[in-house]
Amino acid sequence: MAEEEKMLGQASQGRGKETLISASERKALLSDLKQAEGMIRNDIERETVVVFDREGVGFFAKRQEGLIVDMESEVRKDRTRFEGAILTHNHPHNTSFSLPDIDLACWARLSEIRVTCREYDYTFRNSKGDMSEDWWSGEIEKEFSRVSSSVSASLLEEGIPVGSEEYNMRLSHEVWKRLADNSSVEYTRVERHQKGRHK
């Protein structure tokens, strides 16, 4: 696996112990998508996942210490429960989507996956419908390695060290942005400090 793919997939290395969410916090998290994102975006020690159905009704919330919540085991229990859902979560290291994020979104057939963090909010979806494994393998996967290698080379030419916070943040954003330019991927990044400003 190329170095840049390892960086995009690094979140899978950070699974930690599940942390309990109190009943009152769970109720608040599940009440509204934007409220949930406001509650989780600045947590730099834990990742929290909250899932809403197509009508905006929250039905799942989980938190774990470290960089990633183990969602695969949850989806395996009842994949149909997650089909068409909107999954939002925070990234403690302020990055866009990891490769495992998008892999999960396609496998679970989500309609949208979102990341909220201190500086940006990100969204990722298929403009032609729900995400799926067929969509990923048929349209996106072939370009992914080429684009990630190109972006990594550009960052290295700028003198940005591999593994630095800037490298990880820019790599994850630029790969998805470039893929969206030439596919049915809809990807957005909105700067938190200037609401509504896309980059």
SS3 110: coil
Instruction: Report the distance separating Cα 98 and Cα 133, nearest Å.
Output: 16
Q: Is the separation of the CB atoms in 139 and 113 below 8 Å? A: no
Instruction: Give me the count of residues in the chain.
Output: 199
Note if the pTM is more than 0.75. yes
For residue 107, which phi and psi values (nearest 5 degrees)? Answer: -65, -40
Q: What is the pLDDT along the chain (199 residues), one digit of tens a residue?
A: 344 444 344 443 444 556 678 888 989 999 999 999 999 999 988 899 999 999 999 999 999 876 667 788 888 888 899 999 999 999 988 899 988 899 999 999 999 999 999 999 999 999 999 999 999 898 888 888 899 999 999 999 999 999 898 999 999 999 999 999 989 999 999 998 755 444 4
Give the HSE-up count for residue 91: Cα atoms under 13 Å, Cβ half-sphere. Answer: 28
Residue 113 pairs in a beta bridge with 87, 124
